[in-house]
Each structure stands twice: as C-alpha cells, then as structure tokens.
C-alpha cells in the first residue's frame, strides 16, 4: 500500500505486531514515529525498515507520568495515522488478582491510550481525514480462563474507541479497532504454557494461530485511503476462533 507523504505514529513498535506494522508502513513510504520502552529494540525495528532517515524513535514507558511531555518533543508534524498497539498481558484467575495487577494492566492498556489520544487532539496533531487504529483483542468477545483483567481492560479500550469515533467523525478522522485472536508473538507465548498453546490451537477452525503480518495487513488497510468510509468498526481477525 502507498503511504508516501504520510506521517504515522506506532506505539508498541519494539517487537511483535507493532514491529511488523512499522516495517510494512515503512515499505509503503510512510514517515514513522515509533514508540516503545526499549531504545535498542526500536533500533532493531528501524533496521528492518527500508528507510532509516524517515523514522523517529521515541523510547518511553507509557506508564511514566511525564510520557506526554516527552512525546510532544518528538512529534514535530501533524499525523495522518496512529496505531495504538502498546499493551500488556497477564494471565491470572480472578481469585488471585490484586489491586497492583489491575492498576498495571489498566494503566498500560487503557489510561495511556486515552491520554495519548487526548494529547493528539488537543495539540491538533491529527490531520483532517487521518486514521486511528486501536489494537484490542478477541478476548472481549470470547473470553478465556485467567483473562479477566486483560479482557476488562481491552473491553474498556473498545468502548473508548467507539465513542471517540463518533466525536471526531465531524473532522473526517476515522477510528477503528482490530480484535486479534492468538498471535504468535513472544508476549503471548510467554503467557501460556506449551501444553496450553497446543490445546488452544484446536479452537481455531483455520488450523493455525495468527502472525504479526496477518494483523499488520488489516491495520495498514484501515490506515489507507482505501478504508476512507470505515469508522467505528470493531473487526475480529482470529482465524475463526470466535465462531466456535
């Protein structure tokens, strides 16, 4: 897809889905602002892109109290696209969750995304007809055991994105949410045992888990002009998992 002349911010760009989205957007000619906690991993992402000169790296934890001020110093141009992909997974049954778990997951998955979006709107960092894509989870439609806090956080994110889409439509800004099933990334593999992963595979009618490229293809479409009449959508991309 052609993203020549477009400025796009991608959070959680250090690895996995965010890294693949960054690479695909760079190959399409976008100028990128890549946000992640680990600068060295962001450099690895940049090295996979076809143009290092048009990529700004922003190494910052979204849970840091000063992250908005830090980001403002690095985004020097209005954006045509935003991918809010940064997130955290922690598997824990309800009987074992605590306040720290809840705060940690909600701070990362919900609050930071809300505050970053608010900043971009207040500072007029989003161009007219720009596109915002939230990376949520199919767990919000089909929960699994031990996923209560994560599921609740992503459900809150879905609600925020839905309301945001209505508020900014008058400016021509589109807001959509993708709901991935199990994607083969280091974060999700670490969250499950090998036996759990093998058992979970039987729940996927297409017979495989997703790849970062699967998710990136959908996200890039939603960022592109080809999706100019799509907003407020919550799109499952889960190999048929939610059908069963």
What is the predicted pLDDT for the residue at 189?
A: 60
Q: How many CA atoms lie within 13 A of 25 on its CB side?
A: 36
User: Residues 33, 150, 182, 209: which is the catalytic one?
Assistant: 150
Q: Which residues contact 124 (CB under 8 A, 6 or more apart)?
A: 78
Query: Which tokens belong to 190?
Result: 């670490």
C-beta neighbour count of 47 within 10 angstroms: 10
What is the predicted pLDDT for the residue at 198?
A: 84
Strands 234-237 and 174-180: parallel
| Residue listed under structure tokens 């962001």 | 42
What is the predicted pLDDT for the residue at 91?
A: 87
Residue 39 known to be catalytic: no
CA distances from 116 to 6, 15, 72, 205, 221 (A): 19, 20, 10, 37, 22
Sequence length of the chain is 244
What is the predicted pLDDT for the residue at 90?
A: 87
Digitized pLDDT (tens) for each residue of the chain, 244 residues in all: 999 999 999 999 999 999 999 999 999 999 999 999 999 999 999 999 977 679 999 999 999 999 999 999 999 999 999 999 999 988 889 999 999 999 999 999 999 999 999 999 999 999 999 999 999 999 999 988 899 999 999 999 999 999 999 999 999 999 999 999 999 987 666 556 778 788 889 999 999 999 999 999 999 999 999 999 999 999 999 999 999 8
What is the predicted pLDDT for the residue at 187?
A: 64
Q: At what angle do helices 148-168 and 99-106 cross, to 10 degrees?
A: 30
**How many Å apart are CA 194 and CA 68, to the nearest integer?**
38
Start-to-end C-alpha separation, the chain = 33
What is the predicted pLDDT for the residue at 196?
A: 79
| Residue listed under structure tokens 């911010």 | 9
């Amino acid at each position: 897809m052609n993203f020549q002349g477009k400025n796009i911010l991608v959070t959680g760009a250090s690895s996995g889905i965010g890294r693949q989205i960054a690479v695909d957007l760079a190959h399409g000619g976008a100028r990128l602002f890549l946000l992640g906690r680990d600068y060295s991993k962001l450099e690895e992402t940049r090295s996979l892109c076809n143009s290092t000169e048009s990529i700004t790296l922003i190494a910052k934890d979204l849970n840091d109290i000063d992250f908005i001020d830090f980001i403002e110093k690095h985004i020097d141009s209005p954006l045509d696209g935003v991918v809010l992909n940064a997130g955290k997974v922690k598997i824990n049954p309800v009987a074992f969750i605590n306040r720290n778990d809840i705060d940690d997951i909600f701070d990362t998955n919900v609050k930071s995304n809300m505050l970053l979006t608010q900043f971009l709107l207040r500072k007029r960092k989003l161009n007219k007809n720009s596109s915002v894509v939230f990376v949520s989870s199919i767990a919000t439609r089909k929960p699994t055991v031990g996923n209560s806090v994560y599921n609740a956080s992503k459900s809150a994110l879905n609600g925020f994105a839905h309301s945001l889409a209505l508020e900014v439509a008058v400016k021509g800004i589109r807001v959509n949410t993708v709901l991935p099933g199990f994607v083969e990334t280091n974060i999700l593999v670490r969250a499950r045992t090998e036996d759990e992963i093998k058992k979970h595979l039987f729940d996927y009618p297409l017979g495989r888990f997703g790849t970062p490229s699967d998710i990136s293809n959908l996200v890039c479409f939603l960022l592109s002009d080809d999706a100019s009449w799509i907003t407020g959508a919550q799109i499952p991309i889960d190999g048929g998992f939610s059908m069963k």
